[in-house]
Chain A
């Protein structure tokens, strides 16, 4: 299944998610948008970490938060919860 969603964070930035899922798990995911994430390459780590994981909002935000912490990364204009929200919107749209 293919899903897409865009989510504008109030007072923040825009996140766009494009994903394919198998059952309740993320198969492939691409996160784009006009947000800031430092260091920038951490977006690849986030995408790789999420692949194969269950589409569960709390679990997704926990995973993203853990990637940021392990890479000493910070986001600006978006939070791990916002990414997770947008991912769930993308998977809801594909059902």
Chain B
């Protein structure tokens, strides 16, 4: 009998609910109200998330985001700014007890272990994915997934993005560029360093097929069985509260 984890697919939500729900699941897990969980989700409207230590004003072109109806939010995890396009990427979270056999005290080792589920899933689709320290997954030398991890309340929380299709020009409309003169150069540099599943495979990958492959990748790599489940009333209540009080607040999003 393999170990059972909960699988959540929360579909399309706004940035503030998405990040609030991640933290709500962490809190529920820390109180032992829910099992270890893997969650898939997407962002509607599209959004930019920045790392815990980044400055919103320095990283995000707020005026451009407001004009395009794109949300901007600070994550509870470190790392860099990510543009979460509604159609362009799939986001996942892993919420697991710190004492689980998969978790090392060493962050770098834990990134490698938790990313191995994604790597295996992507390989099953024909994408030659490899883990690249510190926190990336690459295919043919180009980044296809970025990941970020934090710990607290005795729970490990890792979330990350898997690029389905990528539009570097749009990326630099929402992210700040140091000067207009180098915008084109930055776009070309992203084109050289970043890829997507559709680019690698030369076909349109559906979210269903991608999620199915990743589910298999996580199950085989972690030695677990993912049981489709739903969020609890406790998680929903906490998420709604955190959305209003924390993630949608200017105080949180502009704190650095």
Instruction: List A residues at the B interface (Cβ < 8 Å).
Output: 12-14, 16, 30-40, 43, 74, 76-77
Q: Is the CB of B80 within 8 A of A34?
A: yes
Q: Count residues on chain B whose CB falls below 8 Å from chain A CBs.
A: 22
Contact indicator B54/A32 (Cβ below 8 Å):
yes
- Pick from A33, A37, A76: contact of B54, CB under 8 Å: A33
Q: Enumerate B63-78 residues with CB–CB distance to A below 8 Å.
A: 76-78
Contact of A36 among B55, B78, B81, B152 (CB under 8 A): B78
Q: A76 to chain B: which residues have CB within 8 Å?
A: 78, 107-108, 134
Least CB distance from B157 to A in Å reads: 11
Contacts between the two chains (Cβ within 8 Å), count: 52
Q: Is B58 an interface residue (CB 8 A)?
A: yes
**Residue numbers in A under 8 Å from B53 (CB-CB):** 31-35, 37, 40, 43
**Residues of B in contact with A (beta carbons under 8 Å apart):** 51-55, 58, 76-81, 107-108, 134-135, 148-152, 256
The answer to whether A74 touches B107, judged by C-beta atoms less than 8 angstroms apart, is yes
A80 to chain B, nearest CB (A): 15
A30 near B256 with CB under 8 A, answer yes
**A34 lies within 8 A of B134 (CB):** no
Q: Which of B54, B81, B107 contacts A38 (CB 8 A)?
A: B107
CB distance from B97 to the nearest CB of A (A): 17
- Do residues A77 and B54 form an inter-chain contact, with CB atoms below 8 A? no
Q: Is A38 in contact with B108, judged by CB distance below 8 angstroms?
A: no
CA distance A34 to B54 in the complex (A): 6
**A36→B79 contact, CB < 8 A:** yes
Query: What are 13 A-to-B residue pairs whose CB atoms are below 8 Å?
Result: A12-B134, A14-B80, A31-B53, A32-B53, A33-B53, A34-B53, A35-B53, A36-B78, A36-B79, A36-B107, A36-B135, A38-B150, A40-B76
Q: Which residues of A contact B79 (CB under 8 A)?
A: 34, 36
Measured CA separation A40–B149 after assembly (Å): 11
Q: Is the CB of A34 within 8 A of B78?
A: yes
CB-defined contacts of A74 to chain B, threshold 8 Å? 107
Which are the 4 A-B pairs with shortest beta-carbon distances?
Answer: A34-B80, A36-B78, A32-B55, A40-B52
Tell whether, in the assembled complex, residue A38 and residue B151 are in contact, meaning their CB atoms are under 8 Å apart.
Answer: yes
- Minimal beta-carbon separation of B48 from chain A (angstroms): 13
| CA–CA, A16 and B58, complex, Å | 10
CA distance A77 to B107 in the complex (A): 11
A36/B256 in contact, CB under 8 A = no
Identity of the chain B residue whose Cβ is nearest the Cβ of A18 in the assembled complex: B55
Within the complex, the shortest CB–CB distance from B217 to chain A, in Å, comes to 24
Given contacts A16-B55, A32-B53, A34-B54, contact A39 B152 (CB under 8 A): yes
Do the beta carbons of A34 and B81 come within 8 Å of each other?
Answer: yes
Min C-beta distance of B177 to chain A, whole Å: 14
- Determine whether the beta carbon of B151 is less than 8 Å from that of A36: no
Cα separation A38 to B105 with both chains bound (whole Å): 12
Chain B residues whose CB sits within 8 angstroms of the CB of A13 once the complex forms? 134
Give every chain A residue within 8 A of B52 (Cβ-Cβ).
40
Chain A residue at minimal CB-CB distance from B151: A38
Residues of chain B within 8 A (CB-CB) of A14 are 80
Whole-angstrom distance between the alpha carbons of A33 and B149 in the complex?
Answer: 16
A74 to B150, CA, bound (A): 11
The closest CB in chain A to the CB of B108 belongs to A76
Q: Which residues of A contact B78 (CB under 8 A)?
A: 34-37, 40, 76
